[in-house]
Structures are given as structure tokens and as C-alpha cells.
Amino acid sequence: MRINSKKVLRRAFKIIHILNLGIFVLSSAYIFIYALHKAGKSWLFIASLSGSSTVVIIFLVSFYLFAVYRGFSSSQNARNEHPLTASMPYVLFYNISSFYGIFIVWFISLKHYETADYFLRMSVGIITSTFFMWIIIDPIVGLFEMLLPSSRVQRRARIILAQENRKKEYNNRQNVLAEISRAGSYDRLKWQQMLESEANELACLISESRSDDKNVETKVIEIGVKAFRIGGVDCMRHLYFMTKQICERKMQLVPNLDYISIWWDGIGNWRCKWLEIESPQ
């Protein structure tokens, strides 16, 4: 029940904030239009200028609302760090800042003004009160909060916890990588022992036989299929590099070495592009 009431309250605060922002924008627009009209500009000119500014105003308002919602959301998660500015009374006090200007102008109106002049003074009061609330009062209160010992302790604890979480995630990733590396090393060692005779046989076949010999091609394919059944493409790639190392150790420059990969093309998901991959260490 408490969770639902908090959601309703937060939604009400957002509606109040949007209303406050709408009053602020309308007041700014009214002052702008009033000044242009007093300067002798025609209503047609004012309407055309206002229309071309609509896109810019919508973009700025959307950007501001996004920033406010993000800030409001994050302040709720740091209530211990911001005990005052994250409290509901202060949020309400912040969100109705434009109404202060309306009340002040209404109370200090000592004489009767024309409707246009009265709206002008009220718009100036709205902008002034909103400016003081957003630009002066709220930053000062936030700075005062940051200097409180309790806020500093909470912020330090949050930073330490975030560092520990990042360190824990880093260690977990390193452990996973180490486990993968150990598993890969074990597999390569096992393949080295199981396929040593096949690697020697491949080295002899491609160094002593012709590439157009169908029997050689068939035998090479059979060895590739055997390696694929043992460990997939990784095992085939390891067998290929074992064969290459044997040829290099015997000082044999074998022109038919690349035919192994060509003949293996189509075994499982083996492709000739595996030749571009360097030998595993």
C-alpha cells in the first residue's frame, strides 16, 4: 500500500512540475511578445517569429524534462546522501517555484493595472522566482548538503561500494577468462597427443605427393573429418598448425600446404579463411 501511495505522490509531483514549467514557458513567451508589440512590431511578424521558434522551444523543453526526470529519479536512490533535497516537502517546494512569483505580485499590487500590464508584472515575478529557485537557492542548498558530515560519509561509502563492485566484476571476468584459457590449453595438449601421428602423416602426404592425386585428397579429407569429430574446427585448426610446424622443423618448404585447408573446406563449418588466423600459443 505504501509503494502505491509513493507512486501516486511521485506522479503528482511530476504533474506539478510540468505545470510549473508550462507557466514558466508561457510567462517567457508573454514577455517576449509584449516587448515586440511595444516596439511597434505587427502581430503578423510576431506570429511568424513565434511559429519558427516552436521547434526550438519543444526541443529545449523535452531536453529539460529528460534532465529533471533523470535527476529526480537518481535523487530518490541517494536519499541518505541528500536528506533534504530528496525529501518530498522540498521537492514540492521546488516544483511550485513559479507560484511564488504569482503570489508576490498579487500581494504587492498597490494600484490597478491594465490587464496586459498586470500579466506582464506577473510574468516577470514568475520568471524571477523560478530563476532564484533553480539557479540560486537549489544549488546553495545542494552545496550545503554535500558539506554535511553525514552526507560525506554516505557518499564515501557509496564510492567505496561502487569500487568494490567494479573490482568484483573485474575479478569475475578475469576468472572466466582464466578458466577458458585453461580449458583451451588442456584441449590443445590433448589434441597434441591424440593427433601427432595424423600430423606427421599429413606432412608426409603433402610433401611427397602431388596435389592432383585423388588418393591424397581423400586421405587428407579423412584426417580432417577425424579431427572435426574430436574437437570441431578448433581441433582441425590445431592439426593444421601442427602439420605446418612439422614441415618447418624439417626445413621443408611445402607448396601444397594450403591444399589442406582447401580440401577441408566444407567439413563442418570449416572455411579456407581459417588460414588467416594465427597459430595458438
- The closest alpha carbon to 21, from 106, 142, 127, 177, belongs to 127
Closest by CA position to 130, among listed 101, 169, 170:
101
Start-to-end Cα distance in the chain: 61
**How much is the mean pLDDT over the chain?**
74
Whether the predicted pLDDT of 281 surpasses 50? no
User: Rounded to the nearest 5°, which phi and psi values hold at 266?
Assistant: 110, -10
For residue range 49-108, list pLDDT tens digits in order.
555 455 555 555 554 554 454 444 444 446 677 777 777 788 788 888 888 888 888 777
Cα→Cα distances 258→197, 263, 279, Å: 20, 9, 15
Residue 250 CA to residue 209 CA, distance in Å, equals 16
**Residue closest to 201 by CA, chosen among 249, 255, 243:** 243
Could you tell me which residue, 5 or 46, shows the higher pLDDT?
A: 5
Check residues 60 and 198 and name the one with the higher pLDDT. Answer: 198
**Dist. CA 275–CA 263, nearest whole Å:** 13
Amino acid identity, residue 67? A
Contacts by residues 13-20 (CB-CB < 8 Å, ≥ 24 positions apart): 13/72, 13/88, 13/91, 13/92, 13/95, 14/69, 14/72, 16/92, 16/95, 16/96, 17/68, 17/95, 18/65, 20/95, 20/96, 20/97, 20/98, 20/99, 20/130
Query: For residue 122, which of 17, 31, 15, 18 has the smallest C-alpha distance?
Result: 31
Q: For residues 161 and 78, which has the higher predicted lDDT (pLDDT)?
A: 161
Residue 11: the pLDDT is 78
pTM of the entire predicted model: 0.45
pLDDT-derived band at 14 (thresholds 50, 70, 90) equals confident
pLDDT at 96: 81
Instruction: Give yes or no for a contact between 239 and 193, defined as CB atoms under 8 angstroms apart.
Output: no
Nearest C-alpha neighbor of 197 from the set 187, 205, 207, 186? 205
Looking at residue 25, what is its pLDDT?
A: 77
